[in-house]
């Protein structure tokens, strides 16, 4: 396991490997920052960052360059130029994105549509008003696809793109669902419980799917990653050096490296590693993410 520089994010999230630029990207939500790590040097590659005008929660590389992002006031296109400030172009905002809310977890499906969900930021309020949306250049922002979420998380797709995964990481839920997914229309159906973390450890935060179809969830508060087979059976646990892993992503030249972001827990024993970003080799390869088709 290798640490990326001495970075300690306030809320590290949304890592993604962009094979086109051979670089990792991730965000620090509370720090209002986008990070990039060139991939050839591992954790010692060239490191850059850009600030944003508001919290940026999730990102995906765009086919045309730059990133698409879910932020506080909607979806944006981000241009990462030579300066330290990201260029921001507003794209869309759902009517339900009210005061005290923001987008949370998000990524593209295998066809290049961008998916993301909203949440009420004060998790102690446990308000189930979060909704899941898709966005495409052709059709714009969808109507709410899933409603009643407290802390939307865990978006991922099976290798063939025909199964969609979604979780709610709030302590009152701790569930991961699977859906049948129509790749032509981008419509999920047949929602069912895929894994119940009330029967395991932690809360199901961000996730990734490997080349064998295994679903890796960051078990927030439990200091580990949990892998489930495509039929929902618990397969393995990988411990990490921080209490609150937040999201993981496969990448690197051979797609066999897993980058994991984290959130500081505030506990003394987590002071050194909380908020760190690490690279590890879990012994299995991932899949190249589809860039957003603009």
H or E, element range at 207? strand 203-209
Number of domains the chain is built from: 1
DSSP annotation of 85 reads B
Spatial contact of 57 and 13, defined as CB atoms under 8 Å apart: yes
- Residue 154: predicted pLDDT: 98
Q: What are the tens digits of pLDDT across the range 44-67?
A: 889 999 999 999 999 999 999 999
Residue 34 has pLDDT above 90, yes or no: yes
Q: Is residue 56 part of a domain?
A: yes
Integer Cα distance of 239 and 272 in angstroms: 16
The verdict on residue 289 lying in a domain is no
Distance CA 185, CA 208 (A): 22
Percent of residues, the chain, with pLDDT higher than 70: 100
290 part of a folded domain:
no
Q: pLDDT at residue 41 above 80?
A: no
- The CATH number linked to 45 is 2.120.10.30
Residue 251: which domain range?
Answer: 2-280
Q: Is residue 293 part of a domain?
A: no
Please confirm, yes or no, whether 235 is among the known catalytic residues: no
Q: Is 268 helix (H, G, I), strand (E, B) or coil?
A: helix
Catalytic residue among 205, 221, 239, 270: 205
Contacts of 168 (CB under 8 A, 6+ apart): 149, 150, 151, 152, 153, 174, 175, 204
* Residue 69 falls inside a structural domain: yes
Which residue bears the tokens 């987590």?
270
pLDDT category at 43 given cuts 50, 70, 90 is: confident
pLDDT single digits (tens) 61-86: 999 999 999 999 999 999 999 889 99
pLDDT score at 79: 98
């Amino acid at each position: 396991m290798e640490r990326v520089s001495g970075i300690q994010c306030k809320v590290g999230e949304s890592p993604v490997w962009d094979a086109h630029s051979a670089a990792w990207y991730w965000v620090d939500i509370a720090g209002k920052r986008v990070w990039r790590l060139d991939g050839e040097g591992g954790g010692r590659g060239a490191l850059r960052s850009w600030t944003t005008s508001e919290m940026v929660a999730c990102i995906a590389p765009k086919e045309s360059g730059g990133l698409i992002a879910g932020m506080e006031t909607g979806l944006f296109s981000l241009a990462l130029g030579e300066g330290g400030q990201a260029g921001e172009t507003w794209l869309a905002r759902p009517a339900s994105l009210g005061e005290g809310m923001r987008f949370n977890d998000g990524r593209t499906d295998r066809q290049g549509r961008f998916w993301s969900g909203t949440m009420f930021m004060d998790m102690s309020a446990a308000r189930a008003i979060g909704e899941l949306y898709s966005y495409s250049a052709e059709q714009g922002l969808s109507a709410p696809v899933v409603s009643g979420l407290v802390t939307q998380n865990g978006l991922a797709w099976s290798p063939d793109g025909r199964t969609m995964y979604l979780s709610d990481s709030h302590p009152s839920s701790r569930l991961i669902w699977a859906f049948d997914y129509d790749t032509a229309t981008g419509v999920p159906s047949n929602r069912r419980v895929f894994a119940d973390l009330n029967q395991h450890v932690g809360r199901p935060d961000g996730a990734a799917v490997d080349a064998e179809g295994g679903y890796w969830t960051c078990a927030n508060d439990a200091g580990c990653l949990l892998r489930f087979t495509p039929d929902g059976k618990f397969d393995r646990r990988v411990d990490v050096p921080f209490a609150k892993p937040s999201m993981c992503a496969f990448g690197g030249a051979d797609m066999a490296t897993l980058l994991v972001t984290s959130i500081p827990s505030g506990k003394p024993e987590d002071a050194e590693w909380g908020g760190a970003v690490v690279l590890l080799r879990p012994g299995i390869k991932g899949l190249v993410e589809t860039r957003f088709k603009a």
